[in-house]
């Protein structure tokens, strides 16, 4: 048998860690009612099981660039995987809700190191012309896990006990740790780098406060909660101070100058809109299948299946197209298809056949598969190699925040509009829920529509940069 190239072993190693983390987090959502019963707690307290992971992961990500340079990227990655495994083991032994939340927080810290560094290792071993294909394969794990996780979590809760939600992480986590320990290349620590303490304090406070507020909001009343308002104000002010500090610091925690690279800035915008669309749909579709059409959790999972399968397939195909022809066509087509699939959800009715939901979700999956990873890869290719770890951290932080924002916006919109429609038109709960859901999809589709030109702009900027690099190489040869 032919020897597997080292770069593919690196990709498989980080893919194991990525898939385990994202799958575990998405499996927890259907388990919240079970935790309420087991620990005799209300929905607000139990919601911390989900919120704490999001918050600790978000505030850890900005540190990966500095710590990766300081202690070595491989050492930090293995530490993150080890923390996640430890959190999983301890989580299965949780004796009360507080201990469960603490161990979920530990998992989040581990995940915060793993996610950004996964991209860094891929970009280190794959040349630019092969990164699209590699990121397509990695994206299968990153984007399929949120769609199949709720179904798998529901099955585990129905057929087993909640402890298995933690224990099922251990085999793939340990395998990922062993593969990573053997195949990832060690980087030499940079002892000269200094720690940006002011930047760390402000970004941690800013990201943590905003994510905490978003995690606490799932209905209109929560928007007027003084504590949530305080969190959002403090978080936004801290982020403004953070930007001012980073622009004046010689060795910033997150180098914001990367946003001057237009291709990277455009790719981040596409990532934000795509994340809002993806997670907004993940929130709305279960409501549509269960609350409107009256099916169970298993059917909900099956409706997500075509999206997951086509997204994974098209990420791989889209990556190959990116490597051969650049981002213009594949990203623009992907954004257009995503818009069509999302907008079509806005016109379904009580008589719509179930197969149409499968079809439309598949269309959304195709569009996101062609647009998300190719645009991210193009943006990361555009920044200097020395800034890959910080660029990856920035990308992941903004994805995390926009995903939470998508869920919060859709949940509040759904609650408000359903109540308004019921009061004004005397509709049934199912009919009013349907109208709120379809309007929600139309709102998302408008965001998708105005983002379609970003695919063309991204391709133009990437082409400009490639031509500039070729000119530099030609001048260097002449010299």
* CA dist., res. 278 & res. 240, Å (int): 27
What is the pTM (predicted TM-score) of this model?
Answer: 0.85
Reply yes or no on whether the pLDDT at 427 is more than 80.
no
Among 439, 399, 398, smallest CA distance to 418 is for 439
Across 128-142, 243-257, 350-364, the highest mean pLDDT is recorded for 350-364
Q: Which residue has the tokens 């999809």?
A: 441
* CA dist., res. 86 & res. 63, Å (int): 20
Question: pLDDT digit string (tens) for 18-57?
Answer: 888 888 877 887 777 778 888 887 766 777 887 788 888 8
Establish how many alpha carbons lie within 13 A of residue 460's alpha carbon, considering only the half-sphere containing its beta carbon: 7
SS3 375: helix
Please compute the mean of the pLDDT values over residues 2-10 and round it to a whole number.
83
Query: Which residues 6+ apart lie within 8 Å of 121 measured at CB?
Result: 10, 13, 14, 73, 77, 184, 185
Question: pLDDT digit string (tens) for 364-408?
Answer: 999 999 998 899 999 988 888 888 888 888 888 888 888 878 877
184, two tokens: 């990832």
349, two tokens: 């009715």
Q: Which residue has the tokens 């071993």?
A: 125
Sign of CA dihedral 438, 32, 408, 313: negative
Q: Which residue has the tokens 């609350």?
A: 291
Are residues 62 and 204 in contact, defined by beta-carbon separation less than 8 angstroms?
yes
Number of H helices, E strands in the chain: 20, 0
- More reliable by pLDDT, 232 or 44: 232
Mean pLDDT of the chain: 86
Q: What percent of the chain has pLDDT over 70?
A: 97
Q: What percent of the chain has pLDDT over 90?
A: 33
In degrees to the nearest 10, what's the CA dihedral of 446, 442, 422, 289? Answer: -140
Alpha helices in 426-452 (DSSP H): 429-451
> Rg of the chain's alpha carbons, rounded to an integer?
22
Instruction: State residue 447's pLDDT score.
Output: 93
Please compute the mean of the pLDDT values over residues 302-317 and round it to a whole number.
84
SS3 284: helix
Question: pLDDT digit string (tens) for 450-471?
Answer: 999 999 999 998 888 877 777 7
Q: Which residue has the tokens 């959800």?
A: 345
Where is average pLDDT lowest: 138-142, 283-287, 439-443, 444-448?
Answer: 138-142
């Amino acid at each position: 048998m032919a020897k597997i190239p080292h770069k593919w072993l690196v990709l498989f190693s980080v893919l194991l860690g990525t898939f385990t983390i994202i799958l575990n987090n998405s499996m927890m959502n259907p388990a919240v009612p079970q935790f309420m019963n087991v620990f005799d707690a209300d929905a607000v307290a139990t919601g911390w099981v989900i919120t704490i992971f999001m918050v600790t992961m978000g505030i850890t990500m900005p540190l990966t660039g500095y710590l990766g340079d300081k202690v070595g990227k491989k050492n930090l990655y293995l530490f993150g995987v080890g923390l996640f495994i430890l959190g999983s083991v301890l989580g299965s032994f949780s004796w009360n809700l507080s201990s469960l939340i603490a161990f979920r927080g530990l998992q989040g810290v581990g995940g915060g190191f793993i996610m950004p560094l996964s991209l860094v290792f891929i970009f280190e071993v794959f040349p630019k012309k092969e990164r699209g294909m590699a990121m397509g394969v990695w994206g299968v794990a990153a984007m399929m896990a949120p769609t199949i996780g709720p179904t798998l979590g529901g099955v585990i809760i129905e057929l087993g006990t909640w402890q298995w939600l933690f224990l099922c992480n251990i085999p793939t986590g340990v395998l990922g740790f062993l593969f990573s320990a053997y195949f990832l290349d060690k980087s030499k620590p940079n002892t000269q780098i200094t720690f940006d303490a002011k930047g760390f304090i402000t970004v941690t406070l800013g990201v943590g406060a905003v994510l905490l507020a978003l995690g606490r909001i799932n209905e209109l009343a929560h928007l007027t909660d003084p504590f949530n308002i305080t969190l959002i104000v403090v978080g936004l002010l801290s982020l403004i101070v953070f930007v001012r500090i980073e622009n004046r610091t010689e060795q910033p925690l997150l180098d914001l100058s990367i946003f001057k690279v237009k291709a990277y800035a455009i790719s981040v915008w596409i990532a934000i809109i795509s994340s809002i669309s993806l997670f907004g749909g993940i929130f709305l579709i279960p409501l549509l299948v269960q609350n409107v059409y009256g099916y169970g959790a298993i059917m909900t999972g099956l409706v997500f299946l075509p999206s997951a399968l086509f997204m994974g397939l098209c990420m791989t195909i889209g990556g190959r197209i990116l490597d051969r022809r650049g981002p213009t066509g594949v990203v623009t087509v992907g954004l257009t298809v995503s818009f069509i699939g999302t907008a079509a959800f806005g016109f379904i009715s009580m008589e719509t056949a179930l197969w149409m939901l499968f079809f439309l979700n598949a269309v959304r999956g195709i569009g996101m598969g062609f647009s998300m990873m190719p645009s991210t890869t193009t943006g990361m290719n555009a920044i200097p190699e020395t800034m890959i770890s910080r660029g990856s951290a920035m990308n992941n932080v903004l994805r995390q925040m926009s995903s939470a924002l998508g869920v919060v916006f859709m949940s509040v919109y759904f609650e408000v509009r359903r109540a308004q429609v019921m009061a004004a038109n005397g509709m049934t709960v199912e009919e009013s829920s349907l109208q709120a859901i379809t309007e929600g999809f139309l709102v998302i589709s408008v965001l998708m529509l105005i983002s379609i030109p970003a695919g063309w702009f991204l391709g133009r900027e990437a082409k400009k940069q490639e031509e500039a690099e070729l000119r530099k190489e030609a001048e260097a040869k002449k010299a």
